[in-house]
Amino acid sequence: MIVHQGTGRVEIPGTPVLPEGVIDLSDKVLPVDTWMANPDTDLLRGHRMRGLRNIVIGVAALGVVIAVGVWFLQRGSGDGDERSSGAVPADAAVKHAPPPAPDAGISKDDILAISRWGYLTITANQKTTIFVDGKNIGETPMTRLPLAPGPKKIKAIGPKKNQKKEFDATILGGQDADPIDIVW
């Protein structure tokens, strides 16, 4: 900043020279505010810092409120059950018991016996409609048709109107029954 002696006129570097006919009123500004000429002056810095501080405090408070709410919900959700009292349920050891040893439990034959499905394969030399226990299943060929275990009555209707064959099959759980091959 340049101050001329006796005129009270202030020149700020980079300020354009006023054109002729424009009145310069800068000498009427008293006292001279040098801080206004400094580009590093930041009047709002303190305000911004307080705002940032308030945001951080608000987020921290919200986090504490959420954590306390979750803790109360987990603690109070049992309504008197084992979780709220801290007691271990009597059957906890059963729920987390290790699997039985391979020789001390269910065998492969037991697993096959309780399997939900057995399988039957039916083939024919001509187009044949298949019924199992009176229900239309579809047309041949049928490979590994899943059926519930037990005895089954199988009826085959051939390509001509009066062609009909009936079979009995026993389906065992988890196993393939003997295949049926129909020749017309």
Rg (CA), the chain: 47
Give the per-residue pLDDT at 99: 60
Q: What is d(CA 171, CA 160) in angstroms, rounded to the nearest whole number? A: 29
Q: What is d(CA 171, CA 150) in angstroms, rounded to the nearest whole number? A: 5
Q: Which residue, among 117, 151, 149, 152, has the nearest Cα to 132 in the 3D structure?
A: 152
| pTM (predicted TM-score) | 0.41
Mean pLDDT along residues 141-159: 92
Fold of 116-182: Immunoglobulin-like (2.60.40)
- 50-69 pLDDT, tens per residue? 999 999 999 999 999 999 99
Mean pLDDT along residues 64-89: 72
Q: What would the two tokens of residue 29 be?
A: 């500004």
